[in-house]
Every structure is written in structure tokens, then in C-alpha cells.
Amino acid sequence: MAGPSSVLVVGASAAGLCTAEALRRKGYTGRLTVLGGELHLPYDRPPLSKQILSGAWTPDRVRLRTEDALAGLDAEFLLADPAIGLDPATRTVRTASGRTLRGEVVVVATGARPCALPGQAGLAGVHVLRTLDDALALRAGLAASSRLVVVGDGVLGAEVAATARTLGLDVTLTGPRPAPMAGTLGPLVANLLAEVHAEHGVRLRMGGRVAALAGQDGTVTGVRLEDGEVLPADIVVVAIGADPATEWLGGSGLPLDDGLVCDSRCRAAEGIYAVGDVARRHDERLGGLVRLENRTNAAEQAGVVAANILGADLSYSPVPYFWTDQFAAKLQIHGTLPTHADADVTVVDGDLAARRFVARYSHAGRVTGVLGWNMPKQTRLRRQELLETHTDRTSRSVLTPTAVPGGDDDPDVRSGHRAGRPPVLPHGPGGGLPVRPAS
């Protein structure tokens, strides 16, 4: 298949790997290089806050592909060498080790970096969770601690709190909203999630803002709220969001605004594309810029980027999807859940009191989202109502029906294993895979 002579993917993430795979799947035979800032081969992030943090999985189980599968891509993986600069005119990337790499096409897939609290860097016992190394460090810290405070009431903070509580720690979850994930789920479901956390012994200190971290002799001792209350802790997790990793693009002249700004084809400039958490693209259906941080988006967007690199002219307009597992609750969310006062939330299957239901979210008479709580099959059926309201506005746009974990369209199933049942992968490097860390 005709295409560029070389493609350089900056970011050995799920988005970067899926882009490389999609290119080969579509017949691309040119030179393919994947540059990664971490030492690890591409791995899956959702299990970090659950199976890895709890110790249920060993680190090799989050690897996205076997080394044989990666070798079959005929791609060069350059690891442990983060990009530090890009010249868009020549499509040349400079790395921390001094390498200079060029691609006829460059795909930016550098993801996001966790936000920090003031004074966080100088205190031992304060953790973030974004990478595999972060998860392993936090797991070791939890094993040596008894009192955890999680700062942040979003999905990551709630998952960490749930996992740590199952490990037996005294856990306090604090955030500015009235309930865990209230900013995503709205009050009806978020209040139910708060009940689940409280029943399992998580202490909820909601509606408060953090003033500072408390410490003594360089080690964290607690979290001080704006009202003066101190939440005691010997370990703290800061989960207050993430910023797109675009600092290395400073001075490039590329448009940067809460991500690398792209058109509806995920193109930031001639020969430069973005995919995954770092990409802020124009959505033709919504009429504005959108940046999504979820695993499904990384895989689906990669397919559109690969097609456009090879000459297609596809816009990308997905129906967002993510899931979360907390204690015995499995939540699956398709679309957008309006959380303002005039949003209409209706339980259309199951029973809220039984904690097994599907809720439909609407605004101004239009279905915008579907949420399932421990009802995966019914949720999958109900998402069709959502898809019908997201009709394709142009013949050339891509409206992506979202993947359901464990279903036939789940990226994990397509790659040969079902969610929660990854393959047993080989340990360590080798197997003929062309991996060259920076020397």
C-alpha cells in the first residue's frame, strides 16, 4: 500500500501501539519506529489501580502484547528515551539521550502527566498513579503503611481508595465534590457509590478543599483542608487529574491548548498527527474541541489516524466509553452523563436499591449517555438508544460504537484475551524484539 516512507510514533503507550498495529493491519510496509519514555514495553493502564495495586497481578500481566506479537510488527521500539523537542518543518524529534529521529509522518502519542499539589515533590510518602512504576511504588508504600488519604474524588481516586481498603488500610477519601465521581456520574449514582464506599469502611470527607500537605522531617503526616482540619496519614495518593504531556512541544509552533490541538482528522499540521490522551481534536458532531482520557478512545482513534496517514479522509467522532470496578460494583458508561440540575436520569432496567440497574441520561429530550451498574448485557443493549441519537452528520465521519469489556468488540478480546483474563506473557526482554533503550 502506498504511504509515507517512514512513520515515527512518539509514545509507546496503548495509543502509540494501536497506531502502529493499525498501520500494519492496513497494509503499510514502510519504516516504523516507536519511541517511548519508559523502559517498559507497551502496557495497559486500567489494571494499575486495581489488579497491580492489590498484588493480584504481577507486572508482566499488564503487557499489551507478547514479544512475538510485537516482533511481528516489524517496528523498532526505542525505549527509556523521552522526546524533548520537535521541529514540525522537518518532522525531526530530539530525545533526552541526544538522538535525532525523523519520520515522514510523526504521530504524537505522549499521553498525560498527573497533576501535583504544591509542596508534594519534597515529601516522602506522597504518590501519584499513572505509570507501572508508580503503581509498584505505591503498592510497596501501602504494604508498609496503615493510614491512607486519597486526595481526589474522580474515578482514579475512588478506585485507589477501594483497592487500598480491600488491603486492610484505614482509608480516607477527600475531594471538593459531594460524593465520589459526582462530577462524572451525577448525584443519583454518585450518592449510591458513596454508600458502597462507606459500607466498606472508607471514610468520606467530601466537599472540602485541600489547603496543603502536612509533613514532618521530610515525610508526609497528613492532609490539611481549607477549614483547618487535618486528615492524618502515613501515605497519601494525589489523584486530582492529569495534564496532557505537551511540554516537549514547547517552541515547536504547534497549537497547544489543553493538548495538541488537531482538526477533525486528528491532524495538528502537515505530516503530524496526535492520538490518545494528548490529542485535543475538533469534533464535527459536537462543533468544538474535545480531549478524551480513556482506554477505548486510544484504540479507536488510532485506527482513524492510521487510515488518514495512508490517504483516507476520515473525521473522528466517537461515543465515549469507560468503565470502573470498585468493590463489587462494575460501572460501564457510554456517552456523556449530564450532571447539572435539569438533567433527566431514568432507571430503565433493574433496580437501584438492588444495585443492579441501567440508567439513561437525557438532556433537552435527547439521550446523551447510558450507565450500567452490574448489568453488562443490558447496558450493551441500551447503548443502541444512544447510538441512534449520534447519527453520522457527514458521509466521511467515523462514529465509533464503543467497545464493551468482554464483548466481541472489546480491544482486549480482539487482541486474543478477554478482559480480566490476560495471557501469560514471557518474562524479561528477548525473543528477537528490536528494543533499544537509550545508552
| pTM, to two decimals | 0.88
Residue 407 pLDDT > 80? no
Pairing of strands 329-335, 321-326: antiparallel
Q: What secondary structure, in 3-state letters, does 193-249 show?
A: HHHHHHHCCCEEEECCCEEEEEEECCEEEEEEECCCCEEECCEEEECCCEEECCHHH
The answer to whether residue 432 scores a pLDDT higher than 50 is no
pLDDT at residue 261 greater than cutoff 50:
yes
Q: Is the pLDDT of residue 322 over 90?
A: yes
Mean pLDDT of 94-103: 98
Least confident of 145-154, 167-176, 362-371, 426-435: 426-435
pLDDT at residue 412, as a whole number: 26
Q: What is the pLDDT of residues 116-127, one digit of tens each?
A: 999 899 899 999
Query: How confident is the model at residue 415, as a pLDDT?
Result: 25
Pairing relationship of beta strands 260-262 and 279-283 according to DSSP bridges: parallel
Q: Is 333 helix (H, G, I), strand (E, B) or coil?
A: strand
The whole-number pLDDT of residue 342 equals 76
Q: What is the largest CA-CA distance in the chain?
A: 64
Residue 204 Cα distances to 93, 125, 130, 237, angstroms = 46, 21, 23, 15
Is the pLDDT assigned to residue 93 strictly greater than 90?
Answer: yes
Mean pLDDT along residues 329-337: 95
Residues 54, 47: Cα–Cα separation, whole Å:
10
**Using only C-alpha atoms, what is the Rg of the chain?**
22
pLDDT confidence of residue 427: 24
- Residue 26 CB partners (closer than 8 Å, separation 6+): 1, 306, 307, 310
Amino acid 174: pLDDT:
98
Taken as a whole, the chain contains a residue count of: 439
Question: What is the amino acid identity at position 238?
Answer: V
Q: Is 105 in contact with 10 (CB distance < 8 Å)? A: no
pLDDT band at 1, cuts 50/70/90? low
Round to whole Å and give the CA distance between 232 and 194: 21
pLDDT of 191 higher than 60? yes
Q: State the chain's mean pLDDT as an integer.
A: 88
Helix, strand or coil, per DSSP, at residue 325: strand
345 and 187 Cβ atoms separated by less than 8 Å: no
